[in-house]
A and B are shown apart, each in its own frame.
Chain A
Amino acid sequence: AQSVTQLDSQVPVFEEAPVELRCNYSSSVSVYLFWYVQYPNQGLQLLLKYLSGSTLVKGINGFEAEFNKSQTSFHLRKPSVHISDTAEYFCAVSLTGGYQKVTFGTGTKLQVIP
Chain B
Amino acid sequence: GAVVSQHPSWVICKSGTSVKIECRSLDFQATTMFWYRQFPKQSLMLMATSNEGSKATYEQGVEKDKFLINHASLTLSTLTVTSAHPEDSSFYICSARPSTAANYGYTFGSGTRLTVV
Q: Is the interface of B mostly helix, strand, loop or mixed?
A: strand
- Contacts A41-B113, A43-B111; A102 near B106 (Cβ below 8 A): yes
Q: Are B43 and A102 in contact (CB under 8 A)?
A: no
**Interfacial chain A residues near B93, Cβ < 8 Å:** 43-44
Tell me the complex Cα distance, A44–B95, Å: 9
Pair B43/A104 contact, Cβ less than 8 Å: yes
Cα-based distance from A44 to B91 in the complex (angstroms): 12
Instruction: Please name all residues of chain B whose beta carbon is closer than 8 Å to the beta carbon of A34 when the two chains form the complex.
Output: 105
* Max chain B Cβ within 10 angstroms of own Cβ: one of A36, A43, A104, A107: A43
Would A99 and B32 count as touching, CB distance under 8 A?
yes
Identify 18 residue pairs between A and B in the complex whose beta-carbon atoms are under 8 Å apart, listed by A's number. A41-B113, A42-B110, A43-B93, A43-B108, A43-B109, A43-B111, A44-B95, A46-B105, A49-B104, A99-B31, A99-B32, A99-B97, A101-B34, A101-B49, A102-B34, A102-B95, A106-B42, A107-B43
Identity of the chain B residue whose Cβ is nearest the Cβ of A106 in the assembled complex:
B43
Residues of B within 8 A of A107 (CB): 42-43
In the complex, what residues of B have CB within 8 A of residue A36's CB? Answer: 108
Beyond A101-B46, A102-B34, is A49–B105 a contact (Cβ under 8 Å)? Answer: yes
Residues of B within 8 A of A104 (CB): 43-44
Docked complex Cα distance between A34 and B34 (Å)? 16
Tell me the number of A-to-B contacts counted with CB atoms below 8 Å: 47
Contact of A46 among B34, B46, B106, B110 (CB under 8 A): B106
Complex contact B107–A46 (CB within 8 A): yes
Measured between beta carbons, the chain A residues less than 8 angstroms from B78 are none
Interface check B6, CB cutoff 8 A: yes
Q: How far is the CA of A104 from the CA of B31 in the complex (A)?
A: 22
Contacts of B110 in A (CB 8 A): 42-43
Interface residues in A80-107 (C-beta closer than 8 Å to B): 90, 99, 101-107
**Chain A residue contacts of B31, Cβ below 8 A:** 99
B24 to chain A, nearest CB (A): 13
In the complex the two chains form, is B104's CB within 8 Å of A103's CB? no
New A-B pairs, 6, CB < 8 Å, besides A42-B111, A99-B97, A104-B44: A42-B110, A43-B6, A43-B111, A46-B105, A90-B44, A99-B31
